[in-house]
Amino acid sequence: MKHQAFGIDSGDGVRPGGSFGLKGDHAVRLQRPADLGAADRARWADLSDRAGTANVFAQHWFMDPALRHAGADQPIWLAIAERDGGEWIGVLPLVQSARFGRWPVPHWQSWLATNQFLGSPLVRPGTEDRFWALLLPFLDAFAGREIGLQCRQLAWDDPACAALIAHCEREGRGFRIVDRFDRPASAPDSDADGGRSGAKARARLRSLERRLARDHGPVAVDRHAGEGDCNRWVETFLAMERAGWKGRAGSALACHAETENLFRDVMRAGWERGRLGRATLTAAGRPLAMSSWFVTGDRGFGFKMAFDEAFRSYAPGQLLMRHVADHVAGLHPPIHFDTCTAAGAGGCRSLWGDSRTIVDCVVAIGSPARRLAFAGLMLARDAYRRAVNPSAAPAFPAPSTIAARR
């Protein structure tokens, strides 16, 4: 029945065929994105409309071009949890990986596209626990050699992350946070305002803006407000980014057809749906910095920024970020805003006042023997970490400790 319901081929690769049920009224299946029919695409769009505030990057209009342009290097599967009748309650893109860090350990891994800054699954509100209660037994039953599921870039404050932690705690299922970092954010219900460092940063930036205006002409910020020629803005942005250090390093969006086409498509899709925010800082009409972000419901997500390096001494990117932060703080109704800056990046932290914790975690799957292998891998990882750095901080806390801090 295992091979009839889903199947593992002779090379331990997955092949589709049917679905796995739980309690008769829900099921989970793996589906290749290219094989989605019109009905499934409509269900994904419906799920995006109903559950999109948690992760804009998992909505169908972002993920569809991401899968087309950035998913050609490995087989990607959509893990779809659905109700009887076909209504989707959650979806998470997955790939199979042969290595876990330095160890040759096969496992499942959530897939992230280039320039996708959040990996939380798209889940219908109120069904987060059911999603994991479907997906994890499915992976248990149909695992090949995989011993774990690695979830990348989950937001600690996302209900789906909380549900995963609680589910593993309740089941006694192996769970480990393998990485975490905080990135700048703002929350409407927070008392944080950046404090003294924030006030000093804003004063410094106001001084730089006055000097920029004195040296190069009137400074203005255009937020575009969903109007204007989006294609022209995209062209200017791509040229500005490629002219800087990213272009010299070969990492600018326009250096590779895949990333350029992904950027063009998601900017156009976000603009058509009214989800796209844009801002341009100019001096005497010349664009010096450009920024984009997405808004869905009461959530905002930073996307891409570029600046003219000929004006580096004026910190044009930071000047623009101050205006974006002030714009976000003045929105009514207010929104939560995640800057989506990378780990270790400055991101003008003092301008935002708050932070958002992002974690990578791994969950045990499979038979009791495979879960024992998972526990052994975690012990080996801890031992290696201590050997490399005996003074390293303790390992990340257990699920119960994490849940208590939420």
pLDDT digits (tens, 9 = 90+) for 183-201: 999 998 776 555 666 788 8
Contact 277, 320 (CB under 8 A): no
Q: What is the pLDDT of residue 343?
A: 78
For 310-323, write each residue's pLDDT tens digit: 999 999 999 999 99
- Could you give the CA distance from residue 350 to residue 200 in angstroms, rounded to a whole number? 9
pLDDT above 70: percentage of residues in the chain: 87
Task: Outline where 256-307 has alpha helix (H).
Answer: 257-272
Of 86, 164, 169, 82, nearest in space to 128 by CA: 164
Question: Is the domain of 389 the same as that of 338?
Answer: no
Question: Is the domain of 309 the same as that of 169?
Answer: no
Q: What is the pLDDT of residue 9?
A: 36
Domain of residue 245: give its range: 186-356
Residue 265: CATH number of its domain: 3.40.630.30
Question: Is the domain of 304 the same as that of 365?
Answer: no
Of 132, 167, 177, 182, nearest in space to 22 by CA: 132
Contact 293, 347 (CB under 8 A): no
Residue whose tokens read 């989506």: 340
Instruction: Indicate whether this model's pTM tops 0.85.
Output: yes
Question: Is the domain of 28 the same as that of 67?
Answer: yes
**Low-confidence residues of the chain: pLDDT under 50:** 1-18, 398, 400-406
For 315-367, write each residue's pLDDT tens digit: 999 999 999 999 999 999 999 999 999 877 765 788 998 999 999 999 999 99
Helix (H) or strand (E) holding 238: helix 230-242
Contact 277, 321 (CB under 8 A): no
- Could you give the CA distance from residue 322 to residue 98 in angstroms, rounded to a whole number? 43
Q: What is the pLDDT of residue 392?
A: 66
Task: Give 267's contacts (C-beta < 8 A, 6+ positions apart).
Answer: 230, 234, 276, 292
Question: Is the domain of 347 the same as that of 367?
Answer: no
- Could you give the CA distance from residue 216 to residue 355 in angstroms, rounded to a whole number? 35
What's the domain count of the chain? 2
Q: What is the pLDDT of residue 400?
A: 47
Question: Is the domain of 285 the same as that of 380?
Answer: no
Q: Phi then psi for 84, rounded to 5 degrees?
A: -60, 125
Of 35, 32, 31, 30, nearest in space to 142 by CA: 30
